[in-house]
Amino acid sequence: MLADELVQLEDRVQRLITAHRQLRLEKKRMQQERDRLLALNAELKRRIEGVVERIRLLETDQAP
């Protein structure tokens, strides 16, 4: 009976270890995706600022 309980505990420990590893990998992937999206957001912001600046220059050039 004790041996059966030990086997069950070992199985549970192994499942918990596996789940923990999977969560760490998922966290790492999520952090990488967050970093990618932050970089993309910064690039889009720079591009939008460039477009806005060009529009302002065109508007001042066309001012009477």
Reported confidence tier of residue 64, pLDDT bands at 50, 70, 90 = low
> End-to-end distance of the chain based on CA atoms, in angstroms?
95
Q: What is the mean pLDDT of residues 1-13?
A: 96
Q: What does the mean pLDDT of the chain come to?
A: 96
> Is residue 63's pLDDT more than 80?
no
Domains in the chain, number: 1
Amino acid at 28: K
State the sign of the Cα–Cα–Cα–Cα dihedral 18, 22, 27, 32: positive
* Domain carrying residue 24: 1-64
- According to the model, what pLDDT value does residue 62 have? 86
Confidence (pLDDT) at 38: 98
At 52 the pLDDT is 98
